Structure 1
């Protein structure tokens, strides 16, 4: 019988490799409960110009909630952020759950393995449904972009249970967070309200869920997130292609460079974001 860690390693080994994809974001987050560190998350977003696919990869490790929890996700979306496929794995204690989902237009087929049983979910999706991991990109690609006083009603798939839910995100004013300017975004998804701080590039600098008593914070140095927690370089290499350096984000960059004008905020204008080089100028998306 496979151990949970061997299982996740095999899952990672079968993940697709996009060696030439452009890295849009990569960073480490520390996870805290009641002000105490309980784990970490590693997140990476890429765009593959050749296949015109967005790629989201994340890995989570936490010792909170009374049990060690490991999660991983590899998700793919088209240039319009429509869902293509994803593979999700969670290990809670000794219990393993995997979901492999594929999409054909507005139809989803997902194979779920849990507690020694396998079931197949087939579901028709509402128009414009997307994978929840790409929420900020969808907001930035919208007509309004990401700006103060914008509101976004959406339907997204929660990757952890292969189910779609309605959500609402409201963008507030910019304020200082981790020494950088960030929009304060109030979000509600799966009936759980949470707060995110998102900069103009679409980078999530931190989140807070009062209901769950958990917060996350993007860190400049990976060790600040992973200290005192297990890190498997083998699993990370299999999932991400290599061990993420966690440097493709503004928190890391701002910690290593001295700005020429301390009073000037580094970033891009509101409503604009990442440039997808594979698309013509008229179809530039607004970012992450």
Structure 2
């Protein structure tokens, strides 16, 4: 059923011939329960070019160390990889990856500091970019439903390598006032849980082994308060400063009774580097 909804959405957007935002939101990152940063994620489908676009920006800081990470990934209408640009800055160390795909062949230029390496790989059939995991699940034969199991091969954008992954969908349950499937994931050998609604929105993730969680929030300030945020950088990455309202968490909050209570300051945490969800996954990772 969810797969039918996604297919209908793509057709209807194509008829309107314009780019449509599938999801846009801000998530806070917590390490062992303490806020340490935020992620801004956006997914679009461009009807004119028939391409999916994933963009995210991640920032963590604490104890004198900042981590900045960004990704822009493009896939075709069947979610096959076309290209991606990835950047991470840890302290003063910069790493970039520019990858392009032709069929099942990948060419990636990896720059790490002053070193530049060109990576060429033949990809297994049906390999996709890991940031699009949830949309691949939505568009599968089974769609996104309870007791569905998905084995897959995906490219980890941060190292231009292909890894095996597994996603097992559990029952729908309540998460932060919304219904969501509890999905048990394993990617790059790391197990984690994600909470995904029937629209493919990742409401939260939990990596128990790393002690890191993410939580989608209703408004940008809840995620970014106490952490650096440059409007100039965001405009360069997203073409604008994302409002973060294109998600059910924000829409649910806009109709719920307001009771903000006392606002507390956000303590600084230790600088960490995790994948954005997409989907860490990333949404689905």
Aligned to 2:59, the other structure's residue is in SS state strand
Query: What corresponds to 1:68 in structure 2?
Result: 66
Alignment match of 2:176 (pick from 166, 178, 194): 178
- Compute the TM-score of the two structures, normalised by the length of structure 1: 0.82
Query: What corresponds to 1:5 in structure 2?
Result: none
1:135 and 2:133 correspond: yes
Query: What corresponds to 2:111 in structure 1?
Result: 113
Aligned to 2:65, the other structure's residue is in SS state coil
1:21 CA displacement? 1.6
1:258 CA displacement? 5.0
Structure 1: 4+ residue segments shifted above 6 A: none
CA distance in 2, matches of 1:51, 1:187: 31
5+ residue gaps, structure 1? 1-19, 260-287
1:67 CA displacement? 2.3
1:66 CA displacement? 6.8
Alignment of 1:241-256 (within 5 A): 241-256=239-254
Query: What corresponds to 1:21 in structure 2?
Result: 19
Query: What corresponds to 2:57 in structure 1?
Result: 59
Aligned to 2:159, the other structure's residue is in SS state coil
1:253 CA displacement? 0.1
Aligned to 1:147, the other structure's residue is in SS state coil
Aligned CA distance change for structure 1 residues 144 and 64 (closer, same or farther; 3 Å): farther
Aligned to 1:63, the other structure's residue is in SS state strand
Q: Which one scores higher on RCO, CA 8 angstroms, separation ≥ 6? A: 2
Alignment of 1:139-158 (within 5 A): 139-158=137-156
- Compute the TM-score of the two structures, normalised by the length of structure 2: 0.83
Aligned to 2:85, the other structure's residue is in SS state strand
5+ residue gaps, structure 2? 1-17, 258-283
Alignment match of 1:222 (pick from 213, 217, 220): 220
1:203 CA displacement? 0.2
| Deviation larger for 158-167 or 62-71 | 62-71
Aligned to 1:148, the other structure's residue is in SS state coil
Query: What corresponds to 2:199 in structure 1?
Result: 201
Number of aligned pairs?
Answer: 242
Query: What corresponds to 1:31 in structure 2?
Result: 29
Alignment match of 2:76 (pick from 74, 78, 88): 78
CA distance in 2, matches of 1:212, 1:87: 26
CA distance in 2, matches of 1:205, 1:182: 8
Aligned to 1:50, the other structure's residue is in SS state coil
Post-superposition CA distance 1:156-214 (Å, at most 9, x none): 00000000000000000000001000000000000000000000000000000011110
